[in-house]
């Protein structure tokens, strides 16, 4: 079968597609013959597969929570967890299909045009997108945003490994600025209508789809009002820690995210320096904000630990900031990079009333600064060694 895909064969035009599938998820037994190469038992495909594995807890819990919020909204919170999961699965499946379909489609076409190997970078991006886009976002919007991000944030810079900004976050940022009414507020985060007649029901009285941070942003008065779930019940920080709150599918559960974090750290794929310093920066900034609470900035009433549990902060810290391509690469740089992401995310969340959540913007902004941080760290090192050489 292979020869017909090689040069001169019948399907020579589809060579890169064939190549892509032949080596999908495993390493080919041919190795590079010239030049310098770093040897490691992990190649890019296996790295990607591990990240997908780390994302699975978030994905599965996200599916369950989409269903849970739905049944809560229609006043059937006692429904079986299986039907909640199936509902969430049906709700998220189209988003996953669209995200992979559009993104991989563009990559395949691009690879064919340039006669290059298909790069597998989109495997992870395609899984991140459904997790960070609100569940009610119309599919065509997700498709447009994905296409935009893959072409303008990745392909124009030279494809996988060359991008400056995190592609999944660019997708979300595009949606956020293009269609703001679908990305925040009441109707974005909780799916209320039935899917193929599954999970039908009328929305309960007093329904409000606002996320906890959305409620905080509109809070008035000298103290923080009680945060409520979609039908007006009280929610606590523990609910947010376990993830039973409204929000984008992947980001609600701190527990699922931490399981993912452990997988990433044990396999050595993500940098613990970045992860740790994002949380440190977030805690520090949240502590400062909490020390000076003000009615003008209601998010300053939230205590520091709860700040980390709400919104997309933890997800951004574990899966977005640690992207090895768009982050800082020097060790000292990783501490600075991560710490500033944490600080900025909380800074935007608390002191910019226009944005209830700042994790996305913080990561994107620091992506732009990562090369500068690395440059400074490297230069400082050179300077130090020069001084040492002179002193001798």
Closest approach of Cβ 184 to another protein, in Å? 12
**By the criterion CB under 8 A, which residues form the site for another protein?**
138, 140-141, 152, 174, 177-182
CB-nearer residue toward another protein: 157 or 305: 157
149 versus 341: smaller Cβ distance to another protein? 149
Residue 318 contacts residue 128 (beta carbons within 8 Å): no
195 — phi, psi (to 5°)? -115, 120
The gap from C-alpha 27 to its chain's centroid, in whole angstroms, comes to 27
Cβ proximity to another protein: between 50 and 142 the closer is: 142
Residue with tokens 């989109």: 122
Q: C-beta of 118: minimal distance to another protein in Å?
A: 22
How big is the CA angle at 229 (ends 225 and 230), to the nearest 5 degrees? 125
Tokens of 284: 């520090």
Q: Closest approach of Cβ 182 to another protein, in Å?
A: 8
**C-alpha dihedral (249, 277, 175, 138), degrees to nearest 10:** -10
Which helix H or strand E contains 174, and what residues bound it?
helix 167-178
Per the CB < 8 A criterion, the answer to whether 273 and 335 are in contact is: yes
Please list, residue by residue across 53-78, b when 16 or more beta carbons sit within 10 angstroms of its beta carbon and e when fewer do.
ebbebbbebbbbbbbbbbbbbbeeee
CB of 166 to another protein, least distance (A): 17
Q: How far is the CB of 126 from another protein (least distance, A)?
A: 22
Residue 180 or 232: which CB sits closer to another protein? 180
375 vs 147: CA distance, rounded Å:
32
Cα–Cα–Cα angle for 328, 120, 38, rounded to 5 degrees:
55
Beta-carbon contacts of residue 10 (< 8 Å; ≥ 6 apart): 4
For another protein, which is the closer residue by CB, 3 or 138? 138
Cβ 157 vs Cβ 163: under 8 Å: yes
Select 178 or 218, whichever has its Cβ closest to another protein: 178
Q: What are phi and psi of 376, to 5 degrees?
A: -65, -45
Q: How far is the CB of 28 from another protein (least distance, A)?
A: 33
What is the smallest separation between the CB atom of 179 and another protein, expressed in angstroms? 6
Least Cβ distance, residue 77 to another protein (angstroms): 30
CB nearer to another protein: pick between 182 and 279: 182
Beta carbon of residue 183, minimum distance to another protein (angstroms, whole number): 10
Residues with Cβ within 8 Å of 351's Cβ and at least 6 positions away in sequence, in order, are 289, 297
DSSP code, position 26: S
CB neighbours of 32 closer than 8 A, spacing ≥ 6? none
Helix axes 44-73, 81-114, angle to 10 degrees: 140
Which CB, 179 or 207, lies closer to another protein?
A: 179
User: Smallest gap, in angstroms, from Cβ of residue 347 to another protein?
Assistant: 22
């Amino acid at each position: 079968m292979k020869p017909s895909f090689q040069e001169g064969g019948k399907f020579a035009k589809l060579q890169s597609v064939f190549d892509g599938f032949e080596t999908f998820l495993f390493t080919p037994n041919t190795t590079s013959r010239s030049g310098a190469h770093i040897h490691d038992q992990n190649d890019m495909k296996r790295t990607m597969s591990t990240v997908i594995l780390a994302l699975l807890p978030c994905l599965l819990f996200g599916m369950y929570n989409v269903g849970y919020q739905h049944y809560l909204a229609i006043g059937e919170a006692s429904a079986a967890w299986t039907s909640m999961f199936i509902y969430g699965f049906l709700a998220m499946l189209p988003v996953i299909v669209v995200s992979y379909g559009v993104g991989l489609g563009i990559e395949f076409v691009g690879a064919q045009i340039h006669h290059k190997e298909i790069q597998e970078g989109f495997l992870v991006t395609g899984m991140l997108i459904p997790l960070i886009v609100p569940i009610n976002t119309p599919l065509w919007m997700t498709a447009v945003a994905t296409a935009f991000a893959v072409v303008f944030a990745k392909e124009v810079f030279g494809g996988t490994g060359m991008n400056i900004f995190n592609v999944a976050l660019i997708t979300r940022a595009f949606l956020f600025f293009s269609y703001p009414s679908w990305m925040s507020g009441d109707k974005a985060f909780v799916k209320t209508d039935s899917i193929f007649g599954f999970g039908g029901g009328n929305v309960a009285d007093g329904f409000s789809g606002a996320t906890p941070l959305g409620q905080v942003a509109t809070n008035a008065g000298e103290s923080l009002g009680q945060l409520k779930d979609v039908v007006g019940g009280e929610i606590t920080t523990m609910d947010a820690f376990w993830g039973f709150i409204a929000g984008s599918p992947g980001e609600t559960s701190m527990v699922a995210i931490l399981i993912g974090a452990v997988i990433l750290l044990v396999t050595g794929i993500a940098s613990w320096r970045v992860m740790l310093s994002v949380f440190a920066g977030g805690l520090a900034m949240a502590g400062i904000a909490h020390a000076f609470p003000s009615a003008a900035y209601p998010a300053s009433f939230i205590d520091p630990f709860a700040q980390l549990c709400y919104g997309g902060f933890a997800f951004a810290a574990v899966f977005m900031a640690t992207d090895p391509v768009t982050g800082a690469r020097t060790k000292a740089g990783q501490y600075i990079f991560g710490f500033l992401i944490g600080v900025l995310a909380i800074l935007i969340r608390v002191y910019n009333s226009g944005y209830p959540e700042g994790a996305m913007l913080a990561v994107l902004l620091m992506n732009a600064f990562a090369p500068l941080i690395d440059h400074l760290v490297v230069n400082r090192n050179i300077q130090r060694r020069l001084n040492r050489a002179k002193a001798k």
